[in-house]
Amino acid sequence: MLEDLINNLRCESSLLIKDSLRKSGACLIKSLTNQALSQQKPLLYINTEPLFSNRHSLGSLGVQNVDVFGQYDSLKERIMSSVSSANTVVVFPSISLLLLSYSVGRFAKLLRALRESDKVSSVIALMHTDVVLNEEIVDRLDYLFSSIIHVLLPESELSVYYAQVKCLRRKSNGKLETSEEYFTLDDACSLKLVHSSSSAVVRSYTQSQSGDVVSSLTFNLSLSDKEREAKNRLHLPYLKKDSEKQALLSQTHNGSSGRPLISIGDESSQTNPGGKIYYHYDEADDFDDEDPDDDLDI
Amino acid sequence: MFESLHKLLRVDSEPLENVEFMHISGEASGAGLANYSFLLHHFLSYFIKNSFRVCLVSCSQSLTQYKLIESKLGVNLERVANESQFTFVSLLTLLMEDSNTSKEKVDSYITHDPVSSIVSAVKDKLSPPTTSRQPCLLILDDLTALHDIGVTTSDILHMVCELKSGCTCVSTIVTTSLRLSESTHSEEAVSLDKQLSHWSELLFHVDELSTGLSKDVHGQLRIHRLNSLTSGKGDAETYHYKVTDRDVKLFAVGASPAVL
């Protein structure tokens, strides 16, 4: 999936790359930049941090840079006014400092405005997870982007791979696709080899589009008209019929004139032939929880 | 002096003058000076001897402390200050002077746009000779102290950026140091440390020995050369060190004279 995410920058997609000091994800930004340039897509770099040296400048020829450091009040307007060409790929080389000073809600609005813009093809952002330590912010960002690449140190110290990545992609039909892959870098710091350690898992995390849960079941829960009619006609032996219920209710009404509610042998026994036995403990009764045969060796 | 450190840093082939951002962090559990100070003092004397203009912005220590140690390393700070090669700015004194020592005024100074207040104050102190093409070194020492008086991580990072970009020298090296002692090992301090590390090309982390104090090994030093494209754990090298009166001895882990 990593190769697919990098080589096929889809329209209206947003990609979040998460890295840390232990393993940088800047090489993925560079690969994505090169890919966009090879596809003749205009690139817009939003520099939320000052560029201290050339090593931080990941851009190359054909990249438009917009410096927004410290200008967070008019950030959205500045960025939107800078998007001039169609199919523009907007890149945030680092959003960590921005997230420390700018609320996630405002960033979400900015991201939504970019995704809804006709001129923006895709949005790519890099976040250092060891700088933004607030887990709530990280979790909320996970929901804002359609694809996420988490760059990690390979589990094995002796690994020949540069990094391990955990990819996640939300498809337009609501499916969630995940994968775990490894890659190396060549001398020019571009992706050289991608090895998938686990095949992509596809699972559904939302209901089907109709919203009818019953229709997606593998067994039948619904009834046909004929079956429903037969069901309604069936009289279960332990349930009273309506006429019996009415008769009991009328007896209850008459019971207020001094007649017993249920008595064995009178006329009501025709409607309730089984009768009932009520036992009231007498004062002389010696009720004990203990087993009377407890002393016997049975 | 510090030849073993220069050898490890390959100063001959990769001069320190080309490094634009360095970060020194130290983890000290004891009171007093964090044990990264030997690196800070070395860079201070090294760049002064290499004809750099040096501006030292200290957040906790007094000038006397630096003067004493630098005199041992062969640099007379008073003389170079008179020659306008060295400028010392005590940030806390600056805040107190500007706010007329009133606690309420200090609080309002900190809460109301502390970045621009501090940056403008430091820039005023710097007042560089504009005609000079002399390269400049800016040292920001003990930024954690700003956390202690209520400045947020975001504001400290903005201050570093403003000072770095606002410096009119030809080239600038920013050395920031940070205490990560038990009392200040907060989320804010870690976040600040990590962001500064991400900006750095050369990263030093000084730590005490996990096995306790030793007469022959004073601690361990991790040197990390960071390339933003390929940085990873594998680029870091860890050494044991011993600080002597005017030098530091570095040796591979487990290869100290006490062990061998």
Q: Any CB–CB contact under 8 A between B197 and chain A?
A: yes
Contact A133, A109 (CB under 8 A): no
Strand partners, B24: B177, B204
A230: pLDDT confidence band, cut at 50, 70 and 90?
Answer: very high
ipTM of the complex: 0.78
User: Within 10 A of B7 (CB to CB), how many other CB atoms are there?
Assistant: 11
CB nearest to B229's CB, from A22, A24, A132: A24
d(CA A76, CA A87) in angstroms, rounded, equals 18
> Looking at CA atoms only, how far is residue A174 from chain B in angstroms?
34
* Structure token digits, residue B231: 């940085």
Residue B232 C-alpha, separation from nearest chain A C-alpha, in angstroms: 4
Pick the CATH number of A2-147 from 3.40.50.11600, 3.40.50.300, 3.50.50.60, 1.10.3720.10: 3.40.50.300
Helix, strand, coil percentages (3-state) for chain B, rounded to 5, are: 40, 25, 35
Q: Rounded mean pLDDT of chain B?
A: 77
Q: What is the pLDDT, as a whole number, of residue A208?
A: 45
Domains of chain B: 16-215 (3.40.50.300)
Burial class (CB in 10 A: 0-12, 13-18, 19+), A144: middle
* Torsional class of B252: left (φ above 0), alpha (ψ -120 to 50), beta (otherwise): beta
The confidence band for A253, taking pLDDT boundaries of 50, 70 and 90, is: low
Strand order of the β-sheet with B219-225 is B86-90, B53-58, B136-141, B172-179, B21-27, B202-207, B219-225, B236-243, B248-252
Asked whether A168 and A154 are in contact (CB, 8 A), the reply is no
Q: Which of A23, A56, A96 sits opposite B195 (nearest CB)?
A: A96
For the entire predicted model, the pTM comes to: 0.74
Cβ–Cβ gap A101/B230 under 8 Å: no
Check: CB of residue B98 under 8 Å from CB of residue B109.
yes
- For CATH 3.40.50.300, list the domain ranges present in chain A: 2-147
Residue A160 at interface with chain B, using a CB cutoff of 8 Å:
no
Distance, in Å, from the CA atom of A147 to the CA atom of A131, rounded to the nearest integer, reads 21
In tens, the pLDDT along A27-53 reads 888 888 888 888 888 888 888 887 654
Which pLDDT value is given to residue B100? 57
Confidence of residue A291 (pLDDT cuts 50, 70, 90): confident
